[in-house]
Amino acid sequence: MNGFKKILCPVDYSVCSNEALKQAVSLAERDKAKLYLIHVIDIRMYGHEAPLSFEMPKPSEETLKKVREELANSVLKEAKGKIDVETIVSMGIPAVEIINAAKEKGVDLIVMGTHGRTGIAHVVIGSVAENVVRKSPCPVLTVRHS
């Protein structure tokens, strides 16, 4: 294998996600790969599926623009200019949106954080990483915070 050409890294700003981002940047630098950063705004927080008794307003275009800027700024300072980075902000169900982005961009690796939950927390909260691993069109590197 000649290395990776396109890497997708989901960013949710958790500690695990930050660790995965470091790994993704390192791999992208090593292989001179394009790095796609994706942040998914979970639509289940809005409308009738919300666990709250009131409906939350959907983010405005201004808010989405700020999210894109923050996502672009999340790449480590030393990596800026060394690798080609594209940001993706979408609304949907995180695992579905990550898989869709991987297919659309033709990535050959997904690098993502995992919280490593087990037991009842895993059953209740679910696992975005697990769903991505099961349905991904390419290899997935999961990174856990130690």
- The number of folded domains in the chain is 1
49 falls in which pLDDT band (50, 70, 90)? low
Share of the chain above pLDDT 70, in %: 83
On average, the pLDDT of the chain sits at 84
Which CATH number is 42's domain given?
A: 3.40.50.620
Q: Considering the domain boundaries, does residue 92 fall inside one?
A: yes
Residues 6 or more apart in contact with residue 25 via CB below 8 angstroms: 35, 75, 76, 79, 83
Question: Looking up tokens 């990550």, which residue turns up?
Answer: 98
Please report the pLDDT score of residue 53 as a whole number: 54
Q: Considering the domain boundaries, does residue 1 fall inside one?
A: no
Q: Considering the domain boundaries, does residue 73 fall inside one?
A: yes
| pLDDT of residue 17 exceeding 80 | yes
Please report the pLDDT score of residue 55 as a whole number: 60
Query: Is the model's pTM score more than 0.85?
Result: no
